Amino acid sequence: MKIIACYSMKGGVGKTASAVNIAYWAAKSGLRTLLIDLDPQGASSFYFRVKSSPQKNWSSRFFKAYSQLLKQIKASDFDQLDIIPAHLSFRHFDLLLQQLSKRQKRLRQALKGLKKEYDLIILDCPPTISKLAENIFYAADLVLVPVIPTTLSERTFDQLTQFFKHESYSRKKLIPFFTMVDARKQLHKQTAISMRKRYKRFLRNAIPFSTDVEKMGKYRAPIDTFAQDKQANKAYLALWQEIQQEIQAQ
């Protein structure tokens, strides 16, 4: 079983759209896939039409045992793809982790028990540097980082790499890729060229700026289900195929 996180310190970079489409293509390629929506906003849960638990607060049991996670798993509309939906109580994760021993390893320990059920776990992560984020960095085999090719996004990715260096996380885990790319903008072109020179692990495939990505909220589904022949869908498929190669190289 492999664990990949879709993470960014910056919001609005296409993180959740990427997590949803990557999970969809992973399942379609034959992998038993579980998407865990760790963001209290619950956007990926919304896209997959999966409602959160009616329990007032189950986040306190999230890190205790994988059996607690099993109770929260829900089937999606797609074969081989299950979801653990977000819950508003997830906003308390940092407080909960502060109270636990070996707090940095708790997420990895909880997910380890799911290896008989799934080939791949995808974490849709909130855009924060927090105790939860540190758990994610420890647990994930790969950390996929969507980056808009702009100056501010470049700065944010620089900060993330410095954090990994400072905290002694393996920077080999960081796999950045470009999203919301507008080929008409000179800034996007220049920034992409510059960042690819500085960071050799950028994926070759990028996600274009597209209204089809925005329409995911309208259709509440991955792009392939309503815009199969469009550029954005083909880009996500190509991106997944490249990610799959990274997974197999682990």
Strand ranges across the sheet with 174-178: 74-75, 81-84, 33-37, 120-124, 2-6, 142-147, 174-178
pLDDT of 228 reads: 97
pLDDT of 58 reads: 75
Q: What's the CA gap between 23 and 87, in Å, rounded?
A: 19
Q: Which residues contact 61 (CB under 8 A, 6 or more apart)?
A: 68
pLDDT at 2 over 80: yes
Mean pLDDT of 231-243: 98
pLDDT of 106 reads: 87
Over residues 205-218, the pLDDT tens digits come to 999 999 999 999 99
Query: Which architecture characterizes domain 2-248 according to CATH?
Result: 3-Layer(aba) Sandwich (3.40)
Out of 62-66, 110-114, 142-146, 184-188, pick the least confident. Answer: 62-66
pLDDT of 52 reads: 82
Q: How confident is the model at residue 102 (pLDDT cuts 50, 70, 90)?
A: low
pLDDT of 95 reads: 85
pLDDT at 66 over 90: no
Domain ranges of the chain: 2-248
Which position has the higher pLDDT, 41 or 60?
Answer: 41
Q: Which two tokens stand for residue 69?
A: 């996670």
**With contact defined as beta carbons under 8 Å apart, do 68 and 17 qualify?**
no
- Size of the chain, expressed as the number of residues it contains: 250
Give the helix ranges, DSSP H, for 167-230.
186-198, 211-214, 216-219
pLDDT of 83 reads: 98
Whole-number average pLDDT of the chain:
93
Which residues make beta-bridge pairs with 120? 2, 33
Mean pLDDT of 157-182: 96
Q: Report the percent of the chain where pLDDT is more than 90.
A: 80
Q: CA–CA distance from 172 to each of 38, 169, 201, 202 (Å)? A: 23, 9, 8, 11
**With contact defined as beta carbons under 8 Å apart, do 47 and 216 qualify?**
yes
Instruction: Identify the CA nearest to 59 among candidates 82, 93, 34, 35.
Output: 93
Classify strands 33-37 and 142-147 as parallel, antiparallel or unpaired. unpaired
Q: How far apart are the first and last CA of the chain?
A: 11
pLDDT at 100 over 80: no
pLDDT of 19 reads: 98
